[in-house]
């Protein structure tokens, strides 16, 4: 697979005139701002239609809805989870206002925030299947919009951003978990939202870094940067943890990622002590913004249990409301110890359980719902109606290949995007392996938070396959010059700079190649000549004094390569679309002849 149509950079190339520092660190994303929103909104509208169409069907309690729908209703009524009577599910289906409460509080294994989100729908539409599925569908829909925008920012292409959103909209597992009152779609949503905040902050903080340095900031450590979007990331990741504890692995992974990004940005900008500057000015604030803010956010979601007496293990509460949070902390700590004991000891066998190494190949999906209604499909003697929790095979198996390719892209080209995608995937996948080795019960839908990163891997590979855009020298978006180890970006990066850091910008390992003066300093070795750009937009020697970086003359093969790449990418999208449409009846509880259902069960392990 070709990754560039441009000449490589000789290792001995002389120092050349750089672009503006701001353009070096964070080049502008090309394209119309209107289209950058219109395209993603259209894709999101499709996702909304798919998720909200027949949302109240089946009129039944589906799989683990038996826990979370009733827990959400209890939060609305009591502020904490409450025991229910026998046959409470049937009572709710028959009458949303039925009295289903037993005696005393219920012990629960997950934090409350995901159930509070489900409760919003129940408060709006009642304790009905549509009511408790409303917010999961909304979260699944908004995830598509967020992914469109994140992929656009990472690739510099609105088209690839829309492709990413479309793939997420057409994934079977994301579709099913968006239409059921389970927690995993909320973990996906908040992890993706936190990741989006960090990617946005990366661009904004690099622009601020360039502006401060160009304004005359001369500290050996570089300037202090506020990183405002990291506060949002801390809140989002805290809410992911407050839905399921698996969010904590993303906090750790993304925290490490941001420190590496900060170090790479300072080093690329020519800061003389980038490591010390990162640790002194970036690492501690990042810890506060992501860990401390996340912890406070997490604790705040327990407000019902803290302030309202009677919850499991809470007992009575102080008469002074201001004292209740402090009084509750030891009891909440004990509650969490009991929750941890539950999770580490959960090894009951289940017919649909699977292991993390099974998930990428879809070996064992989960039947959320299955019935065989009589006489409901025309003249067929036997009918089937199912909700099968399974990813779209074409997408998942394609993503498995894409992730392998992305790993090589990161290892060879040091593309920061490949590193971020791999980290996001591995943070939600490898972390399940220790529990699997301990025989903990787990299911395929636990992989729901991985899906956006699988889609990003596919889209990044498609971008490399399509190749650089024409007119790259006129401002086509670059991943960041030099960050991909000297190869052109899928959307048109110039091949400049020494091999990049594993996670970020070029290391400027050779002082002769430093982008801003021989030692990355300012003053005597100024970063720019008096006229860095001429009437044509570039200086007399834009690619070095000896023309070492001059691009070759345009060749017809580049256009042919892009045409073939675009056709292959389009064909893959069409295959995923057709595959999703084929499986849609068994993802959405449509009644079909048994023979049609059986044709869609490709492997015995899918039954």
Q: What is the pLDDT of residues 222-270, one digit of tens each?
A: 999 999 999 999 999 999 999 999 999 999 999 999 999 999 999 999 9
Q: Is residue 213 part of a domain?
A: yes
The number of C-alpha atoms within 13 Å of 473 and in the hemisphere containing its C-beta is 14
What is the reported pLDDT for 376? 85
Q: Which letter, b or e, does each residue of 442-476 get, where b requires 16 or more Cβ atoms within 10 Å of its Cβ?
A: bbbbbbbbbbbbbbbbbbbbbbbbbbbbeebeeeb
- Positive or negative: CA dihedral 200, 203, 207, 209: positive
Q: pLDDT tens across 276-299, in order?
A: 999 999 999 999 999 999 999 999
Q: Which of 165, 238, 158, 169 lies closest to 197 in space, CA to CA?
A: 238
- Total structural domains within the chain: 1
Q: Is residue 165 part of a domain?
A: yes
What is the reported pLDDT for 593? 95
What is the reported pLDDT for 490? 39
Q: pLDDT tens across 41-76, in order?
A: 999 999 999 999 999 999 999 999 999 999 999 999
Cis bond before residue 528 (omega within 30° of 0): no
Mean pLDDT of 532-538: 32
Range name among 208-212, 214-218, 283-287 with the lowest pLDDT average = 214-218
Cβ-Cβ contacts under 8 Å for 363 (sequence gap 6 or more): 354, 603, 605
pLDDT at 496 over 70: no
Question: Sorting pLDDT into bands at 50, 70 and 90, what band is 509?
Answer: very low
Q: Is residue 378 part of a domain?
A: yes
pLDDT at 90 over 70: yes
- Mean per-residue pLDDT of the chain: 85
pLDDT at 123 over 60: yes
In terms of DSSP bridges, do strands 366-371 and 383-389 run parallel, antiparallel, or are they unpaired? antiparallel
Domain extent for 206: 1-50+157-170+181-301+345-607
pLDDT at 535 over 70: no
Q: Is residue 595 part of a domain?
A: yes
Range name among 129-138, 220-229, 426-435, 475-484 with the lowest pLDDT average = 475-484
Q: Which of 308, 347, 20, 67 lies closest to 184 in space, CA to CA?
A: 67
Mean pLDDT of 114-139: 98
N-term to C-term CA, the chain = 38
pLDDT at 101 over 70: yes
Mean pLDDT of 404-417: 96
Q: Is residue 439 part of a domain?
A: yes
- Positive or negative: CA dihedral 508, 287, 231, 424: positive
What is the reported pLDDT for 216? 85
Beta carbons of 199 and 470 less than 8 angstroms apart: no
Mean pLDDT of 343-365: 94
What is the reported pLDDT for 20? 78
Beta carbons of 479 and 417 less than 8 angstroms apart: yes
What is the reported pLDDT for 26? 77
Mean pLDDT of 319-336: 94
Mean pLDDT of 144-168: 97
What is the reported pLDDT for 125? 97
Q: Which of 461, 456, 357 lies closest to 405 in space, CA to CA?
A: 461
User: Higher-confidence residue: 402 or 565?
Assistant: 402
Q: Is residue 15 part of a domain?
A: yes
Distances (CA, A) of 507 to 201, 376, 593: 21, 66, 61
In terms of DSSP bridges, do strands 82-84 and 591-593 run parallel, antiparallel, or are they unpaired? unpaired
pLDDT at 558 over 80: no
Range name among 84-88, 491-495, 558-562 with the lowest pLDDT average = 491-495
Reduced to 3 states (helix: H, G, I; strand: E, B; else coil), residue 152 is helix
Residue 523 backbone class (left: φ over 0; alpha: ψ -120 to 50; beta: rest): left
Q: Which of 513, 510, 543, 481 lies closest to 4 in space, CA to CA?
A: 481
Mean pLDDT of 480-493: 37
Q: Which letter, b or e, does each residue of 509-534 get, where b requires 16 or more Cβ atoms within 10 Å of its Cβ?
A: eeeebbbbbeebbbeeeebeeeeeee
Q: Is residue 312 part of a domain?
A: no
Beta carbons of 353 and 364 less than 8 angstroms apart: yes
Q: Is residue 122 part of a domain?
A: no
Q: Which letter, b or e, does each residue of 104-140 get, where b requires 16 or more Cβ atoms within 10 Å of its Cβ?
A: ebbebebbbbbbbbbbbbbbebebbbbbbbbbbbbbb
What is the reported pLDDT for 343? 92
What is the reported pLDDT for 379? 80
DSSP3 helix / strand / coil % (the chain, rounded to 5): 55, 5, 40
Q: How many C-beta neighbours within 10 Å does residue 351 have?
A: 8
**Length of the chain measured in residues:** 607
What is the reported pLDDT for 28? 79
Question: Sorting pLDDT into bands at 50, 70 and 90, what band is 554?
Answer: low
Instruction: Tell me how far apart the alpha carbons of residues 52 and 129 are, in angstroms, rounded to a whole number.
Output: 12
Reduced to 3 states (helix: H, G, I; strand: E, B; else coil), residue 514 is coil
Q: Whole-prediction pTM value?
A: 0.86
What is the reported pLDDT for 470? 63
What is the reported pLDDT for 19? 61
What would the 3-class secondary structure string for 429-452 be?
HHHHHHHHHCCCCCCHHHHHHHHH
The contacts found for 134-139 with CB under 8 angstroms, 24 or more apart, are 134/55, 136/177, 136/178, 136/179, 136/180, 136/181, 136/182, 136/185, 136/186, 137/48, 137/51, 137/52, 137/55, 137/178, 137/179, 139/178, 139/185, 139/186, 139/188, 139/189
Question: Sorting pLDDT into bands at 50, 70 and 90, what band is 166?
Answer: very high
- 386 has which bridge partners? 370
Question: Sorting pLDDT into bands at 50, 70 and 90, what band is 371?
Answer: very high
What is the reported pLDDT for 375? 84
Cβ-in-10-Å burial (0-12, 13-18, 19+) of 316 comes to exposed
What is the reported pLDDT for 438? 93
What is the reported pLDDT for 31? 81
Instruction: Tell me how far apart the alpha carbons of residues 229 and 246 are, in angstroms, rounded to a whole number.
Output: 22
């Amino acid at each position: 697979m070709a990754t560039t149509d441009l000449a490589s950079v000789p290792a001995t190339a002389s120092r050349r005139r750089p672009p503006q520092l701001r353009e070096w660190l964070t080049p502008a994303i090309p394209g119309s701002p209107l289209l950058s929103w219109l395209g993603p909104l259209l894709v999101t509208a499709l996702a909304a239609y798919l998720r909200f169409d027949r949302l109240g069907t089946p009129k039944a309690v589906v799989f683990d809805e038996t826990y979370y729908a009733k827990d959400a209703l209890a939060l609305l009524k009591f502020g904490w989870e409450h025991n229910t009577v026998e046959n409470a599910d049937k009572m709710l289906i028959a009458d949303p206002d039925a009295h289903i409460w037993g005696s005393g509080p219920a012990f629960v294994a997950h934090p409350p925030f995901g159930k509070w989100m489900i409760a919003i729908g129940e408060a709006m539409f009642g304790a009905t299947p549509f009511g408790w599925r409303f917010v999961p569908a909304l979260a699944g829909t908004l995830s598509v919009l967020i992914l469109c925008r994140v992929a656009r920012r990472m690739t510099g292409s609105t088209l690839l951003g829309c492709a990413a959103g479309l793939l997420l909209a057409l994934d079977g597992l994301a579709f099913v978990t968006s239409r059921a009152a389970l927690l995993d779609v909320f973990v996906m949503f908040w992890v993706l939202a936190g990741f989006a905040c960090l990617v946005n902050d990366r661009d904004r903080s690099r622009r601020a870094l360039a502006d401060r340095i160009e304004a005359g900031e001369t500290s050996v450590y570089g300037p202090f940067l506020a990183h405002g979007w990291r506060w949002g990331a801390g809140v989002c990741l805290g809410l992911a943890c407050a839905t399921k504890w698996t969010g904590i692995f993303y906090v750790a992974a993304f925290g490490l990622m941001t420190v590496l990004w900060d170090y790479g940005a300072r080093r690329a900008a020519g800061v003389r002590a980038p490591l010390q500057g990162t640790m002194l000015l970036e690492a501690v604030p990042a810890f506060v913004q992501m860990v401390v803010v996340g912890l406070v956010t997490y604790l705040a979601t327990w407000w019902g249990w803290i302030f309202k007496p009677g919850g499991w293990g809470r007992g009575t509460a102080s008469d002074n409301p201001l004292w209740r949070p402090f009084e509750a902390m030891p009891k909440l700590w004990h509650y969490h110890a009991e929750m941890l004991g539950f999770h580490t000891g959960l090894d009951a066998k289940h017919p649909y359980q699977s292991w993390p190494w099974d998930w990428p190949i879809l070996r064992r999906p989960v039947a959320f719902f299955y019935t065989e209604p009589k006489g409901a499909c025309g003249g067929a003697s036997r009918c089937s109606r199912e909700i099968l929790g399974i990813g779209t095979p074409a997408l998942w198996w394609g993503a498995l290949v894409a992730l392998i390719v992305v790993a090589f892209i990161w290892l060879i080209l040091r593309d920061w995007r490949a590193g971020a995608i791999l980290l996001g995937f591995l943070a939600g996948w490898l972390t399940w392996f220790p529990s699997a080795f301990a025989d903990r019960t787990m299911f395929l839908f636990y992989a729901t938070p991985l899906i956006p990163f699988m889609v990003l891997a596919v889209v990044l590979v498609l971008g490399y396959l399509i190749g650089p855009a024409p007119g790259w020298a006129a401002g086509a978006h670059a991943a960041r010059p030099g960050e991909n180890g000297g190869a052109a970006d899928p959307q048109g990066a110039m091949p400049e700079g020494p091999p990049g850091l594993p996670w970020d910008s070029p290391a400027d390992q050779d002082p002769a190649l430093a982008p801003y003066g021989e030692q990355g300093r300012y003053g005597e070795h100024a970063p720019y000549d008096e006229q860095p750009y001429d009437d044509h937009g570039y200086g007399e020697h834009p690619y070095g004094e000896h023309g070492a970086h001059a691009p070759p003359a345009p060749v017809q093969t580049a256009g042919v390569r892009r045409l073939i790449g675009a056709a292959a990418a389009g064909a893959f999208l069409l295959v995923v679309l057709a595959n999703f449409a084929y499986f849609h009846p068994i993802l959405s509880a449509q009644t079909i002849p048994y023979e049609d259902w059986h044709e869609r069960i490709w492997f015995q392990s899918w039954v």
